[in-house]
Chains A and B, each alone.
Chain A
Amino acid sequence: MEVTLSMDPLFLAWSYFRRRKFQKCSDLCTKVLEDNPFDQAAWSLKTRALTEMVYIDEVEVDQEGIAEIMLDESAIAQVARPGTSLRLPGTSQGGGPTPAIRPVTQSGRPITGFVRPSTQSGRPGTMEQAIRTPRTANTARPVTSASGRFVRLGTASMLTHQDGPFINMSRLNLAKYAQKPNLSKALFEYIFHHENDVKNALDLAALATEHAQFKDWWWKVQLGKCYYRLGLYREAEKQFRSALSHQEFVDTYLYLAKVYQRLDQPITALNLFKQGLDHFPGEVTLLTGIARIHEEMNNITSATEYYKDVLKQDNTNVEAIACIGSNHFYTDQPEIALRFYRRLLQMGVYNCQLYNNLGLCCFYAQQYDMTLSSFERALALVSSDDEQADIWYNIGHVAVGIGDLTLAYQCFKLALAFNNDNAEAYNNLAVLELRKGRIEQAKAFLQTAASLSPHMYEPHFNFSVLSDKVGDLQSSYVAAQKSEDAFPEHVDTQKMLKTLRQHFAVL
């Protein structure tokens, strides 16, 4: 014990910091600072420790808020050319699977194999839609930019400390700190991440870059980050570009690509990534970035190519494996998808989504003995009601596949019990009700499904078929038109419309 006491507390704190025990490090630094409030080393270490506690990777977090989506004034061309915009969902050029095979998100993009911010959200078409969608903590759906994820992940500044905040922002002389390069960087990160005070961070960065005679690329990147947060994308672009001319750096490429994506210039972003790959051949993050853009633009084939490149460099990349797997699943090769998901399992990914996918793959690859046990395991691993609903929904699909409609009925109802907004379950339940001849029920369910997710064509088409059977041709026609809007290439809808039009035209 004597020995530990005599150990230099700052060294110990440093050691804690390196072992990522930030709370202990911070406590120790506080003690050092109590003895000597002007110890710059301890002060700097404490800021870093506090920052690390709430640090989130700026590159990965990208969530467009309602304000950005709906009040976008920079949109010039309302109808962009096909293949040049992320906002135009229906422009598939890669010959990807149709919505009949691969389900789509609200914005009309095929669902991905890997959930990350912005994969589920898409861009809602109307304000009504944007406001109505549930925006809970566990669904990555639109939030307002100022709060949302930044608040949730970096709540540090909101929780009050018993003896006031560590650094009082209002009393900070930024100009003084900007002169000291060894302190200013740590201070900047603290302000940016811990305090989440972009305006002051920007001031500090501006002063510091001036002090460095506009030659320090690091400060330029930080300036760009601040501008990006403030929504000044063109300024951010300028800073990142300038930083790149000083120093080629992967992070800077990623930030710049993010700016271009936000400006809805996916082609520029792709070119930038390729430029980056010239300097950093085989860089996984750049390859992933390319793949993601291709995926968002509905070009699934190229996306898969790039994910394969990612796997060549890093064969444990979960995102790449999951995306390739889901692509194989939806292109009618469940046996290969099964391989990829098994690989994930071997790598130690152990959650209900994976078991659910494994179960589905086994079922469609006719490996029946492992199907249901996978689902059972998935049910045992469930952590939220939404996940449980999804799994029951998929079991319902299997039940429909083996013809056990009672089980299917129960499963879909359970899916609805756990998640009231499951439009797919409503739709399937309606079909089962229709088979039982309960038309009123089926009608009500289909209407609900259609109102819950207007992007799905199935409820509209089913409603059209139902109305046609009942003899209500007008409703049938209206529903068929809605179905056509959601999925223009759907052959059955086209047939339906054709027969209906004939009905109307014939004397």
Chain B
Amino acid sequence: MSSVPVEMKDSAMSTSKWLDAHYDPVANLYTFSSCITLADLHGDGENKLVVGDLGTGTGNMKLKVYRGTGLLSENTLLDLPTGLVSFLMDQHEPRTPAIAVASGPFIYIYKNLRPYFKFTLPTLEVNPLEQDVWSQARGDMIDPLTLKEMLESIRDKADIPLSVRSLRFLILEPQEMESYVNLYKEQPIRRQVVLSYSHTHMCKQLYNYYMHRDPKENMADDDAVSCLVIGTESQDVYILDPEAFTILSKMSLPSVPTLMDVNGQFDIEFRIIVACRNGNIYILRRDSQKPKYCIELSSHPVGLVRMGKNVVVGCAQETMQSFTQKGKKLWTTYLPAPVTTMALLELPARGFQAILVALANCEVHVYRDKNVVSTIKTPDVVTSICFGRYGREEGTLIMTTKGGGLIVKILKRTAVFDDRDSISGPPIAQSIRLNVPKKTKLYVDQTMRERENAVAMHRAFQMDLSRLRLAAARAYVKALESSLTPMSASLTEPLKMNAVVQGLGPSFKLTLNIQNTAACRPVMNLVISFLFDENLYSMRTAFFKIPLLVPGLNYLIDTFVECLSDKGISDIIKVFVLREGKSTPLLTAHINMPVSEGLALS
């Protein structure tokens, strides 16, 4: 931010509600809001930051725990984490929460930062055709390429989707296929609930599945034991028992869930708000297996936050919309840039709730209803955001950036968010005066002249115009006859050429861009010839054929020219495109050669 003018910084400092606690631009943290949480892992009253780091996307996935500004521990993850929550799984004292990390078809539970349990999602029915094909591969009856073709046809037609193994096989390069088949053909195929990979992990919407904790039993406060709620790629939502890890309930959705919010108690009443990949938001309740309400959005949801009884959704269309839990729309606000992620800002001590919206223009806005109450400028685009108690500080904002940076800011205790309404009255643009130059006296005089001599002026102009038309037509015909123009006028070979010279000399590279501008007819049997002063330049091939020209494509043809003179003079080289067997060129380009500077130096 070194280039920010001084005045701007000053005003921002004086009104800022945030203290800069920590900024590490090279923290090497690549994650999203679903994989970041704050939890008191050791029961010592100090909250730690737990992050599921996506690493490079193919490797180096880690579960990282930060305390203060330093890294406390690192655990390697086997697969990309798609969700991370901390939750209380039992009533034992001290009350230390467990961490659940979702990746692939598994949920790994960590306690005291040690692996504790691995939950495997139930398997699904495998397509019999697919099983057939793989069994053939096991018997070495088909080669990998045939296998690929058959799997592709199954993928396109069958109702039951392919397993992860087949899908991964289909994206392999031909040379890798053989070893892949040998490695996996002996194992039975299983189709697990979850697809293992999301290759576009940088793109926000594509999470494979989501987890959320859900306050359980009769205690509604933060100390309660929680259930895990899981959304899967098979369009289901599961609720897991936290102690036995059995499926308590299963609900199905019309599409794949991407964002989720849960509140309520399992035994009494709860609501699960799920934003799905088809652009709809579904609201599930305890007593129904199917969604109760559906909100249809006009564009894809990229952020979902529940604020009290309302749902606030950030959409891909640079808007933020609010709905009631019954699906009634409350308001829409337009944002200055696309949303990257959203989170809830909650200060229970002050009874304050707001929405944090990270935008693609390197800003984080704090919204209270429709109104912006604070704006934070960040040095990079924020990809994940989390607000809560960190260490012993209540109002801490934690952000990670696209470049892997970690930003920690603390909300000033004196900060007041005043709820001013959005600006009313006419827009500012209305009062800006346009810089229209004044009518000069000269202009008025000239218009007088024009008015008085209108007829004479018109006649003179028309006569000049006719003369000019004639001159232009003559020059044009001359240019056409000698095909001077760099685009051919003939209807059978509509060609276009331009030439570029590169180099400092004495060797130059001539690049000709030739394009056939016809709609569908290719042009063939063309040759190129050059005309130049042989005392000045030499060319290895001054005459050559060019290949068939497919319409619409730009053909680059390179050739080399050597400058022979050391006098610092230059000349024009003419390029002709000719049809084979004819001497009149189709088109000509003149290349103004630059002065050769190589020889002049030596």
Write out, one digit per residue, whether chain B residues 288-314 have a CB within 8 A of any chain A CB (1) or not (0): 000000000111100000000000000
Known: A368-B457, A505-B316. A445 touches B496 (CB 8 A): yes
Known: A376-B464, A444-B496. A151 touches B568 (CB 8 A): yes
Q: Is B59 an interface residue (CB 8 A)?
A: no
Partner of B498, one of A151, A418, A420, A441: A420
Contact partners of B554 in chain A: CB under 8 A: 447
- Size bin of chain A's contact surface: 35 or more
Q: Is A17 an interface residue (CB 8 A)?
A: no
Q: Is B5 an interface residue (CB 8 A)?
A: yes
CA distance A260 to B453 in the complex (A): 55
Partner of A505, one of B318, B567, B594: B318
Query: Is A407's CB under 8 angstroms from B467's CB?
Result: no
Contact partners of B589 in chain A: CB under 8 A: 420
Q: Is B435 an interface residue (CB 8 A)?
A: yes
Partner of B460, one of A339, A369, A443: A369
Q: Is B458 an interface residue (CB 8 A)?
A: yes
Contact partners of B476 in chain A: CB under 8 A: 410, 413-414
Known: A147-B601, A365-B446, A372-B464. A444 touches B568 (CB 8 A): no
A-B pair number, CB within 8 angstroms: 179
Query: Is A416's CB under 8 angstroms from B595's CB?
Result: no
Known: A410-B476, A420-B591. A79 touches B3 (CB 8 A): yes
Contact partners of A367 in chain B: CB under 8 A: 446, 449-450, 457
Q: Is B504 an interface residue (CB 8 A)?
A: yes
Query: Is A144's CB under 8 angstroms from B504's CB?
Result: yes
Query: Is B465's CB under 8 angstroms from A372's CB?
Result: yes
- Size bin of chain B's contact surface: 35 or more
Partner of B595, one of A143, A332, A335, A368: A143
CA distance A275 to B590 in the complex (A): 49
Give the interface segment out of A22-30, A132-140, A232-240.
A132-140
Q: Is A95 an interface residue (CB 8 A)?
A: yes
Q: Is B501 an interface residue (CB 8 A)?
A: yes
CA distance A16 to B319 in the complex (A): 83
Write out, one digit per residue, whether chain B residues 410-445 have a CB within 8 A of any chain A CB (1) or not (0): 000000000000000000000000011100101100
Which residue of chain B is the closest to A332 with respect to CB atoms?
Answer: B437
Partner of B475, one of A146, A404, A414, A421: A414
Query: Is B479's CB under 8 angstroms from A507's CB?
Result: no
Known: A131-B503, A505-B315. A414 touches B472 (CB 8 A): yes
Query: Is B468's CB under 8 angstroms from A372's CB?
Result: yes
CA distance A404 to B464 in the complex (A): 14
Q: Which among B436, B442, B569, B594 has the highest number of chain A CB atoms within 10 Å? A: B594
Partner of A448, one of B300, B436, B460, B498: B498
Query: Is B494's CB under 8 angstroms from A336's CB?
Result: no
Partner of B494, one of A79, A144, A369, A441: A441
Known: A365-B443, A413-B485. A420 touches B465 (CB 8 A): no
CA distance A505 to B314 in the complex (A): 12
Query: Is B472's CB under 8 angstroms from A410's CB?
Result: yes
| CB of A346 to closest CB in B, whole Å | 17
* Chief secondary structure at chain A's binding surface: helix
Which residue of chain A is the closest to B458 with respect to CB atoms?
Answer: A368
Q: Is A32 an interface residue (CB 8 A)?
A: no
Contact partners of B566 in chain A: CB under 8 A: 158
| CB of A13 to closest CB in B, whole Å | 30
Q: Which residues of A313-358 have CB atoms within 8 Å of chain B's CB atoms?
A: 331-333, 335-336, 339
Which residue of chain B is the closest to A339 with respect to CB atoms?
Answer: B442
Contact partners of A411 in chain B: CB under 8 A: 472
CA distance A81 to B467 in the complex (A): 54
Query: Is A146's CB under 8 angstroms from B601's CB?
Result: yes
Which residue of chain B is the closest to A402 with respect to CB atoms?
Answer: B465
Q: Is A155 an interface residue (CB 8 A)?
A: yes
Q: Is A501 an interface residue (CB 8 A)?
A: yes
Which residue of chain A is the closest to B441 with respect to CB atoms?
Answer: A335
CA distance A410 to B567 in the complex (A): 38
Contact partners of B590 in chain A: CB under 8 A: 385, 420
CA distance A135 to B502 in the complex (A): 10
| CB of A394 to closest CB in B, whole Å | 12
Known: A451-B513, A507-B279. A336 touches B442 (CB 8 A): yes
Known: A147-B597, A506-B317. A376 touches B519 (CB 8 A): no
CA distance A79 to B316 in the complex (A): 32
CA distance A385 to B440 in the complex (A): 37
Which residue of chain A is the closest to B442 with respect to CB atoms?
Answer: A335
Contact partners of B442 in chain A: CB under 8 A: 335-336, 339
Which residue of chain A is the closest to B297 with respect to CB atoms?
Answer: A507
| CB of B437 to closest CB in A, whole Å | 5
| CB of B448 to closest CB in A, whole Å | 12
Interface pairs (23), CB distance under 8 Å: A131-B503, A131-B504, A132-B500, A132-B501, A135-B595, A136-B593, A144-B504, A146-B597, A148-B597, A151-B600, A158-B568, A331-B437, A367-B457, A368-B460, A392-B475, A395-B468, A413-B476, A413-B487, A440-B519, A444-B496, A501-B317, A506-B299, A506-B317
The 9 closest A-B pairs by CB, nearest first: A372-B464, A505-B317, A369-B460, A135-B594, A368-B461, A147-B600, A417-B484, A369-B457, A505-B299
**Additional 17 contacts, C-beta under 8 A, given A146-B597, A505-B299:** A131-B502, A131-B504, A136-B592, A155-B568, A332-B437, A369-B457, A371-B461, A392-B475, A395-B468, A404-B469, A416-B486, A420-B589, A440-B518, A444-B496, A445-B487, A505-B300, A507-B299
B interface residue numbers (CB < 8 A to A): 2-3, 5, 279, 297-300, 315-318, 435-437, 440, 442-443, 446-447, 449-450, 453, 456-458, 460-461, 464-465, 467-469, 471-473, 475-476, 479, 484-487, 494, 496, 498-504, 513, 515, 517-519, 551-552, 554, 566-570, 589-595, 597, 600-601
